[in-house]
Structure 1
Amino acid sequence: MDKVIILGAAGRDFHDFMVYWAVRPNTQVVCFTETQIPGIENRHFPKEMCRNDVNGNRYPDGIDIYPESQLEELIQRFEANICTLAYSDLSYHTVQSLASRVNTAGCQFVQLPPVATQIKSTKPLVSIVASRTGVGKSQTTRWVANYYKKKGLKVAAIRHPMPYDEDLNFQRCERFETMEDMDKYRCTIEEREEYYRHIEDGTLLFAGVDYEMILREAEKDADLILWDGGNNDFSFYKADLTITLVDSLRPTDELHYFPGETNVRMADAILITKTNELKSVLEADHHAQQLRDKGILKHDMVPILYGKSKIVPQAKGMTTEEAASFVNGKRVLVVDDGPTLTHGGLPSGAGYALCESLGGIPVDPRPFAKGSLQQTFSKFTHLKNCLPAMGYGEEQVQDLQASIDAVECDVVMIGTPIDISQVLDIGDKPYVVARYDLEVVPQHQTKFLNVLDTAIDPEEKKEKKINPK
């Protein structure tokens, strides 16, 4: 019997187990390892989701979860002969280093292909995926959802998992329709950042752990399913249309990060994002040509489209113009999206971009960091003038609160996908929210809509000729 360790980060690892490893004959998953997300190790995957009804009660007590740092010790302890990679947004260097650790310990290093774990929906399904974290998937998913809703379709978005609760059964299948549902499921800041705008737009949202159950529940309410990807992971579902986002500010990352290149190779359309932050559209044209020249698109007719990230300031009781003038010349603490700045590798996010464009003076938050935020800055040394909104658990939220309180500034610029003042006390500091949405460049808008229509009209998908130039 094969003895398997699943290397994960509280997401794909559980999905791969439930749809593949739990039902594979002559296989015993001996443990999970966790990394990347603070505080998710040393938990337990419950027996209720171990597929014991179809595998002969192979996991009567569930499965333990350990830190990835103990990998070699775990291989020896459990006499494992296979370690399988099941998380994302990793440099190829990191992937090969993991493979070397596993091989040196005497194990096979396995990477499952998308086809092994993708579930087929009974409804049309569109996947929004990316080359890296922080490329703009959520704002794109919202834009796409609103397009289909305007066509009269009932849309359900399914978000890539973020099951951070200690009781995974509690998060098995989550349905979000109102803001109160985020309280119901004890959502962290990181979860709220991804869910809030969907709920605000009136898009029914699902997430959780058991993605077969989640899909079947979503199908009851929707005419069309949208996969809102996390990190640069590939979709858990077989898509009728795959739209892959690549970042104009990180123009070669799709060739160096796993599994971002897989997403590019599987794409039915490419969207180059944040083109408004380039010095010239020629840079986007060069990026598009590189994608074609590298031969990583699945065929020559894959359309490459351009999108902008439209960022506007909002402040309570102020017009947009008043909020903008409020930042000019002020000392500004920028609080930007945590994952984008940390494992996404960007030095700043939307909040910093808006602060800079409005003439604000960013304050270096590093001397004021408290608790776990000190460790974050020590680990991610590229960060300087942004405070990452780390909120994976109660302790981190408290440390974030304390860090914001300690910074000497005139204004706080909130660049997270939600207004974190709803879950934190900003205190007496005035704040401005950076609100950002996708804006498809005008000359590509019709082409993008044509692409979206192929998911709901199979005959159009067969016949439509989309000019890739």
Structure 2
Amino acid sequence: MRRVVIAGAAGRDFHDYHQHYRDDPDARVVAFTRAAGQNLGEADADLDAFPGELTATGDPIPIVPEADLERVVGEANVDEVAFAYSDVSHEHVMHVASRALAAGADFHVVGPDDVSLPCEIPVFAADAVRTGCGKSALAKAAADHLQEEGFDVAVVREPMPYGDLAERRVDRYDSRADLEGLTLEEREEYRPHVDAGHTVFAGVDYAAVRDAVEAEFDVAVWDGGNNELPFLDPDAHVVLADALRPTATDTFHPGETNLRLADAVLVTKENSASDDAVADVVDRVRGVNSAVPIYHADSVVTVGDTVDGEPAADALENARVLAVEDGPTLTHGDADYGAATVAADRYDADRIDPRPHAVGSLADVLDEYPRLDCVLPAMGYSERQRADLADTIEHADPDVVLAGTPVALDEVLDVDVPVVDVDTELDIHDTAVETLVERYLGPSLSKQA
């Protein structure tokens, strides 16, 4: 029997366990590892074991820091380390591989053919080469179109299973009320969908998630977190690349795999990038998938018409604003800014440096990412971290908070400052979302009908 450690971050690692290892009589998973640098604040969820209710043996499986990988390999006589992280550089993957090999274990990456679940209903997958490319905007637009066409649509998200994993085997969200108590990261991803009337599914056991979706819905939209491979076998697979991060197009895992599997590639944020950067992205796409159709899009930032009853243009011009951006995109996504920064610059607002005002875990995050300039990541994996975020905003004392995260900060934080949501939509130059859906998903929809 092979003794296995799965290295992950409370996402694909659990999926790989359920679909590849759990029922394999020749394998036994003896531990999961996780890296502290991914999903900062996650330790507050006290996630130190995968519960016995979800394992093959009925016994819990320890979740240990990745720093202990060599110790676990030695003490547990581990034969194989399975890598199950997303949105990490190819170089990082091989560093973990080298550690595993040097400790005496084989190194393995489970492929999509082994864990991508077949589905009885059509699946449209919105994916990316990195986190923060705009895939959620594409997923929402695709779901909107399918819903307008009369289909019952379910959106399936990569797991963000904080808290009691046994209770979160299948998560379902139909309204904002269902989002109460979730982390900011979860709310960022789920709120735009539920506001649009889409039911969102996530969880820990995606065979059970799939079964629940198939029982009630006509079509599924995979809205992959980070640059994660689809957990459901897609009938249409559209992959986004970011013109502001051209070198990341083909240098991150499993983003390059997504690129190689794509039915179509959509280059985003071209309105903020140079022509040379866009050309670099196209060259890199062609280098790994020479025949894939490539489309081009702007990422259009919009701000509400008014701020506390005053026209936004007047309220924001020369105002002292705090730009709060999507947390994962700034941290492990390596982006320097987001929609809130674009909006602040549009109105000539004065962006406040949050560093002198940051407290607790938010100060730790900014110390961890010194490249961030006058932006504050919307970190909120725990009640304490949300309190630190609120205190940091209050201490900065801005005239306005520009929220480039779709989390609805004013609903989850108690701050005495006007909060203005900044939204981002895709404006595709050479086609339309409706055309993408019909072109790549249409044959599967016709078969179902």
TM-score by length of 1: 0.90
SS in 2 for 1:456: helix
- Partners of 2:331 and 2:445 in 1: CA distance: 43
Q: Where does residue 130 of structure 1 map in the other structure?
A: 128
Query: What amino acid is aligned across from residue 112 of structure 2 in structure 1?
Result: P
Contact 2:246 2:280 in 1 (8 A): no
- Partners of 2:149 and 2:268 in 1: CA distance: 25
SS in 2 for 1:236: coil
Q: Displacement, 1:175?
A: 1.2
Q: Displacement, 1:409?
A: 2.5
Structure 2 residue 69 is the aligned partner of structure 1 residue 60: no
Q: Where does residue 415 of structure 1 map in the other structure?
A: 404
- Partners of 2:307 and 2:398 in 1: CA distance: 21
Structure 1 runs, 4 residues or longer, greater than 4 Å off: 315-319, 458-461
SS in 2 for 1:436: strand
Q: Provide, for residues 379-409 of structure 1, a one-character-per-residue CA deviation record: whole Å limited to 9, x for no partner.
A: 1121121010111111211111111111142
Query: What amino acid is aligned across from residue 42 of structure 2 in structure 1?
Result: G
Q: Displacement, 1:313?
A: 1.2
Counterpart pick for 2:285 among 282, 291, 305? 291
Q: Where does residue 389 of structure 1 map in the other structure?
A: 378
Report % sequence identity. Answer: 37
Q: Where does residue 353 of structure 1 map in the other structure?
A: 342
Q: Where does residue 9 of structure 1 map in the other structure?
A: 9
Q: Where does residue 427 of structure 2 map in the other structure?
A: 439
Query: What amino acid is aligned across from residue 72 of structure 1 in structure 2?
Result: E
Unaligned 5+ runs, structure 2: none
- Partners of 1:105 and 1:255 in 2: CA distance: 29
Q: Provide, for residues 244-303 of structure 1, a one-character-per-residue CA deviation record: whole Å limited to 9, x for no partner.
A: 0100101121221111100000000001111121245x75355324422x1x11x52x21
SS in 1 for 2:75: helix
Q: Displacement, 1:318?
A: 5.6
Counterpart pick for 2:165 among 164, 168, 172? 168
Q: Displacement, 1:425?
A: 1.3
- Partners of 1:377 and 1:103 in 2: CA distance: 34
Contact 1:11 1:161 in 2 (8 A): yes
Counterpart pick for 1:116 among 114, 117, 123? 114
Q: Displacement, 1:21?
A: 0.8
Contact 1:268 1:303 in 2 (8 A): yes
Contact 1:139 1:437 in 2 (8 A): yes
Q: Displacement, 1:30?
A: 0.4
1:143–1:217 Cα change, 3 Å: same
Structure 2 residue 186 is the aligned partner of structure 1 residue 199: no
Contact 2:87 2:254 in 1 (8 A): yes
Q: Displacement, 1:418?
A: 2.2
Contact 1:309 1:438 in 2 (8 A): yes
Q: Displacement, 1:361?
A: 1.1
Counterpart pick for 1:403 among 387, 392, 416? 392
SS in 1 for 2:59: coil
SS in 1 for 2:302: strand
Q: Displacement, 1:356?
A: 0.9
SS in 2 for 1:187: coil
- Partners of 1:102 and 1:237 in 2: CA distance: 29
Q: Displacement, 1:238?
A: 1.0
- Partners of 2:300 and 2:91 in 1: CA distance: 34
1:104–1:182 Cα change, 3 Å: same
Q: Where does residue 314 of structure 1 map in the other structure?
A: 304
Contact 1:189 1:392 in 2 (8 A): yes
TM-score by length of 2: 0.94
Counterpart pick for 1:362 among 339, 351, 373? 351
Query: What amino acid is aligned across from residue 317 of structure 2 in structure 1?
Result: N
SS in 1 for 2:303: strand
Contact 2:250 2:284 in 1 (8 A): no
- Partners of 2:200 and 2:349 in 1: CA distance: 36
Q: How does 1:20-419 map to 2 (within 5 A)?
A: 20-35=20-35, 36-37=38-39, 38-40=41-43, 42-50=47-55, 52=56, 59-165=57-163, 167-183=164-180, 186-280=181-275, 283-292=277-286, 294=287, 296-297=288-289, 300=291, 302-314=292-304, 322-419=311-408
- Partners of 1:222 and 1:14 in 2: CA distance: 25
Unaligned 5+ runs, structure 1: 53-58, 462-469
- Partners of 2:401 and 2:444 in 1: CA distance: 48
Q: Displacement, 1:100?
A: 1.2
Q: Provide, for residues 158-186 of structure 1, a one-character-per-residue CA deviation record: whole Å limited to 9, x for no partner.
A: 01100011x11111111111111112xx3
Q: Displacement, 1:90?
A: 0.6
SS in 1 for 2:107: strand
1:290–1:31 Cα change, 3 Å: closer
Question: Alignment RMSD, CA only?
Answer: 1.9
- Partners of 2:273 and 2:314 in 1: CA distance: 24
- My pick for the range that moved more, 368-377 or 265-274, is 368-377
Q: Displacement, 1:94?
A: 1.1
- Partners of 2:58 and 2:422 in 1: CA distance: 48
Contact 1:269 1:451 in 2 (8 A): no
- Partners of 2:75 and 2:316 in 1: CA distance: 57
1:459–1:118 Cα change, 3 Å: closer
SS in 2 for 1:334: strand
SS in 1 for 2:42: coil
Contact 1:324 1:358 in 2 (8 A): yes
SS in 1 for 2:442: coil
Q: Displacement, 1:426?
A: 1.9
Contact 2:122 2:444 in 1 (8 A): no
- Partners of 2:444 and 2:120 in 1: CA distance: 14
Query: What amino acid is aligned across from residue 311 of structure 1 in structure 2?
Result: V
- Partners of 2:162 and 2:444 in 1: CA distance: 38
SS in 2 for 1:388: strand
1:7–1:153 Cα change, 3 Å: same
- Partners of 2:76 and 2:421 in 1: CA distance: 49
Q: Where does residue 440 of structure 2 map in the other structure?
A: 454
